[in-house]
Amino acid sequence: MDELIVKEYLELNGFVTIPLRKGRSQSKRSMHGEGVDLYARNMKFIERERDPSFLLFSSELRHLRSAIICVKGWHGEKAALGNVANGADMLKYVEANVLKKVEKWFEPVNWTELGEPLMPKKILVAPAFPTQELYRAQIVNALKERGVDGILSFKSILLDIIDRVDPRQVYPGSELL
């Protein structure tokens, strides 16, 4: 379900998505720690002077040409993240449970087969992100050191989708809406 929500969000923001690692359900992929879930290409991309920010919101997505998206259920693992109350706890959780796996999640894929001249950005979907700058900076630096180019907050994704839903409209092409 997480992958479907992220796919819908990206498509609402002008991306075309292609599922990667076909043949297994999302839950089985998460259990086995398999890699990238989606390839996304921005059909509304306009060349800019800068790359998108590390923390990605809808307003930043227009700066993103293409990406490989890793949608892992680490926000549901052991229900531990539900008990995370502050940035320090989030940092400990990420160090203990995410940093060990993130490089494996982004195992190489042949991007030229997708028609990409440049390596797409590596984006990780996270449940939330600390608001305290100290902890946020430490997590960002640790993820960057492991090759992650950006974070999409699952909470922000859900809020953006909800904000865009028109209860009077029918969404025949959407499994989610």
List strands edge to edge, sheet with 66-70.
15-19, 38-42, 66-70, 121-126, 150-153, 55-56
174 located within any domain: no
76 located within any domain: yes
32 located within any domain: yes
E strand map for 23-90: 38-42, 55-56, 66-70
Q: Looking at the predicted structure, is the pLDDT value of residue 177 above 70?
A: no
Helix (H, G, I), strand (E, B) or coil at 124: strand
pLDDT of residue 31: 41
CB 3 within 8 A of CB 20: no
177 located within any domain: no
Instruction: Count up the domains in the chain and report the number.
Output: 1
Between 177 and 122, the higher pLDDT residue: 122
172 located within any domain: no
CB 85 within 8 A of CB 131: no
Residues 6+ apart with CB under 8 A from 111: 118, 119, 120
123 located within any domain: yes
**pLDDT tens-place string over residues 53-111:** 899 998 888 889 999 998 876 545 544 555 555 778 888 888 887 888 888 887 766 77
Between 51 and 158, the higher pLDDT residue: 158
pLDDT of residue 165: 80
pLDDT of residue 73: 61
Q: Looking at the predicted structure, is the pLDDT value of residue 18 above 80?
A: yes
25 located within any domain: yes
Helix (H, G, I), strand (E, B) or coil at 78: helix
**pLDDT tens-place string over residues 5-15:** 899 999 999 99
Number of C-beta neighbours around residue 166 at 10 A:
8
13 located within any domain: yes
**pLDDT tens-place string over residues 122-137:** 999 988 778 888 888 9
The alpha carbon dihedral of 35, 69, 142, 152 has a sign of: negative
pLDDT of residue 15: 95
Token readout for 22 is 């076909």
**pLDDT tens-place string over residues 98-151:** 888 888 887 766 777 777 777 899 999 988 778 888 888 999 999 999 989 999
DSSP 54: S
pLDDT of residue 79: 42
HEC assignment per residue over 92-121: HHHHHHHCCCHHHHCCCCCHHHHCCCCCCE
- Give me the helix-helix angle, 2-12 and 154-164, nearest 10°: 60
Domain extent for 37 = 2-164
Q: What is the pTM of this model?
A: 0.80
pLDDT of residue 152: 93
pLDDT band at 166 (very low <50, low <70, confident <90, very high): confident
